[in-house]
Amino acid sequence: MESYTLEKRIWTQDDFEDMGWHDSTIHAMAFLLNEWDLGFDIDYLLQWIPPTPPEISFSFWVAPATLVFHDVSEVKCDFSWPCATHLTLQGIDRSDERQTPSGLSEWLWTLDGNEGTMHFFATGYTQCFRKAPSFQALQKLPLEKRGGISFDYTPENA
């Protein structure tokens, strides 16, 4: 399979309409103290490749990324899963724009997943691809291939 070239390494809320997190895997999340940030270590699916007969399963271009929401408040979580290994997103929605006391715009962000939902207000996000995409038979990368758990914003070879 040929390589996949990223359009850019860093994406923000300005790119929201061009992004989709369906079937992205959340490996870890962290409340980044003193910054009011909420970070997620994810495997982002860039492309689904339809099977070529006689194959029956899709393949995927997947890259590890750090997704950080900024100026987070009013976090509400409702997760339920029998084996806490990871979370799988169905999507991320943005709604209910309002002004913060300091005059910034913030939105209600909803992370809808197979295992539950998370809601919070944030002024926006930054998503940084940490490595180049790799072609995979599965929708998530093995831990060793993705460089372990990380909240780093520094793209290596993306």
Rounded mean pLDDT for each run of 10 residues along the chain, 158 residues in total:
88 97 96 86 97 93 96 93 79 97 96 94 97 94 93 69
pLDDT at 3: 87
| 16 domain residue, yes or no | yes
| 5 domain residue, yes or no | no
Query: Residues in the chain, how many?
Result: 158
Quick one: tokens of 144?
């060793």
pLDDT at 142: 93
Q: Domain range spanning residue 34?
A: 10-137
What is the spatial distance between Cα 76 and Cα 52, in angstroms, rounded to a whole number?
42
Write the CA distances from 114 to 17, 88, 91, 104, 158, integer angstroms.
22, 6, 10, 32, 28
Quick one: tokens of 19?
């992004």
| 96 domain residue, yes or no | yes
Indicate the pTM of the whole model: 0.92
| 153 domain residue, yes or no | no
Of 107, 114, 146, give the one whose Cα is nearest residue 12. 107
What is the spatial distance between Cα 40 and Cα 30, in angstroms, rounded to a whole number?
7
| 154 domain residue, yes or no | no
Radius of gyration of the chain (CA): 16
| 129 domain residue, yes or no | yes
3-state SS class at 51 = coil
pLDDT at 35: 79
pLDDT at 84: 65
How many domains is the chain built from? 1
pLDDT at 156: 62
| 151 domain residue, yes or no | no
